Amino acid sequence: MLKEFKEFAMRGNVVDLAVGVIIGGAFGKIVSSFIEDVITPLVLKPALEAANLTKIEELTIFGGVKYGMFLSAIINFIIVAFVLFLLIKGMNAAKKKEAPVPTIPKGPSQEELLTEIRDLLKK
C-alpha cells in the first residue's frame, strides 16, 4: 500500500498540481496586497475618506452587511482573471510562433509507378 501511495504521489500530474496550488496561493497574496496597498489608497481613497473608513473591507450597509469584503473579493477575482488571461494569451502566441515541421511530400508508390509504366507501354 505504501508503494502504491508513493507511485501515486510522484506522478507528474500530482506534483504539477501541488506546484500550481502553492504558486496560486502566493499569487493570491500578491493580488490582495496590490488591492489593499495600491488600488485602495490611490483609487478608492476619496470614497473611503468620505465614508470615514481606511479599508474597503470596512464598508457595511444596513448596520452589519459587509459588502466591502464582497467588493474586495470581486476586485481580486477580476485582477486574477485578467492576469491569467494575459498569461494564457502569451502562451498561445508562443505556440503559434513555433515553425511547423515541414513534411516531405511523398511520391507515388511503386504500384502506382508500375501501373503508369504499364499504361504507357500499352499505348
Domains in the chain (CATH in brackets) are 2-100 (1.10.1200)
Q: Is 11 left (phi over 0), alpha (psi -120 to 50) or beta?
A: beta
Counting residues of the chain whose pLDDT is more than 70, the rounded percentage is 86
Cell of 83: 492576469
pLDDT in tens, 13-64: 777 777 788 888 888 888 778 877 777 677 777 777 777 777 766 677 777 7
What is residue 69's three-state secondary structure? helix
If we measure between CA atoms, which residue out of 90, 87, 73, 58 comes closest to residue 28? 73
Give the pTM: 0.48
